[in-house]
Amino acid sequence: MVKTLNVPLVGARRHGPPPAARGSRRPGGEHWLVLVAAAFTLAQLVLVRPGMGLGWDETVYVSQVSPHTLAAFFSAPRARGVPLLVAPIASWSSSTTLLRVYLALLSGLGLFLALRVWRGLFPIRVLAPAGALFATLWVTLFYGPQAMPNYWVAIGALAGVGCFLRAQADRFDQAALWGAGLSTALMAWMRPTDAIWATLPLLVLVVAVRRWRRPRLLLALVAGLVAGAGEWIVEAYVSYGGLGQRLADGSRIQGGLGWNIAVGDQMRSLGGRVLCRPCTGAMPNPVVMVWWFVLPLLAVLGLVIAVKARRTAGTLLLLACATTAGVPYLLMIGYAAPRFLLPVYALLAIPVADALVHLVTTPSRAWRPVAVTLLALGLAGHLAVQFAVLQATVQRTTVSHRGWASTAAELHRFGVRPPCLLTGHQAVPIAFYAGCSSAATSGHNANATPSDIVRAGQREPVAVITTPAGRPPAYARDWAPHRAGDLRVYVAPGAGGGTV
């Protein structure tokens, strides 16, 4: 049976480091975590292709700090964590390849640090497979090098629970205390509401359970949430009409949060649909979905193993935080994106790896080769499915992004060059590629009126983009029509527009 250090987590008073902390400083073993993180980084660079181009949401985040384009409309649910994350590169370079390499390296480092927190709480032979399981999911590989927040919420959640356990075990462990606060701040910096859901079990324990009360740990968690979400809250009052209004707007943009079982939507997204909205159509092949059903079963087995070994605290907290982190995206939202559940997958990785290691190490010598063979075959099939979905998703996404770049080039040919303004179908990402600003008169990104757009056309090139079957708005029906690939473009007269 896999053994971990039995760290006393309640009522312990120590004047020296706990067993977990002593174990974490023992030489050897850490190189396996380095290898997992390095392999994860390399796999991103090889399989996801640094030149894939930026996606819709990425263009919004990067445009906030890029000097090469105007900032896109920043809707209520978004937070400023990603723009700050990419600023060291995006603030001076327009190279998507350089940005992808930077994010791949950073995501590998983040995975290593999050796993390292758990040294001594679980053995390396559990932590290394746990990191590998999480890192080889297609959704982890796909979003690791992207300018998106969900992977970083996952890393913050995994590190935060580990630091919480260490701080509970030893009230003198200042590093764990700081780690808990910084991990919580990272989550709130990226997505404030996700941070609340992911840390809810920790807050409940440290407030409501007498033996778990640690005032300094509570202060660290709360300070982390406030530090990470502080700018988001201030911005709510400055630009969105208050915190309540921003939360209401965010709920409306996400389809109205409330009781809505989205499990089926998430299942449909497993085949590589990066955004399933509206989430209709057939389910993917059962082979693609089987791991999703095996995952919770193995997590429960990990809990059973932990109970028998009398070391339930770590496993139980991981499962509790995974559950609360998944609640809004499985039960309260009307659409799906596979990246939403990245924190859940990261938190479940350790209990699942613990269960798998137990399955191949506890059978008798006669049955052990059979167990190892079956597990190896199962993991090989799982990896084959993950990489097949990843390859198809990367290819499809790359084609989409190249289409936006091609449309931007056509717009330049029509005389729509910076400074310029785009509105209409897919105007946000196309505007980024073209170096223009974007505007919308309706929908989630509404930030202008028709008269605003008409007036802009008197100062700079303005274009309306529609689908082939679409019709331009009334104010643009007399504008010069053009064809740009599969799209139609209507260019306003004057200010340099409308010429070829």
Distance CA(73)–CA(76), nearest Å, equals 10
pLDDT at 22: 40
Q: How many C-beta atoms lie closer than 10 Å to residue 426's C-beta?
A: 17
pLDDT at 368: 84
Judge contact between 285 and 272, C-beta under 8 A.
no
> What would the two tokens of residue 45 be?
């660079």
Model confidence pLDDT, tens digit, residues 379-408: 999 999 999 999 999 999 999 999 999 999
Tell me the pairing of strands 421-424 and 487-491.
Answer: unpaired
Return the percent helix, strand and coil in the chain, to nearest 5. 65, 5, 30
pLDDT at 495: 56
Residues in the chain with pLDDT values less than 50: 1-27, 498-500
Judge contact between 295 and 355, C-beta under 8 A.
no
pLDDT at 332: 93
pLDDT at 499: 45
Nearest to 345 by CA among 392, 388, 385, 298: 298
DSSP 109-173: HHHHHHHHTTBTTB-HHHHHHHHHHHHTSHHHHHHTTSS-SHHHHHHHHHHHHHHHHHHHH-TT-
pLDDT at 483: 95
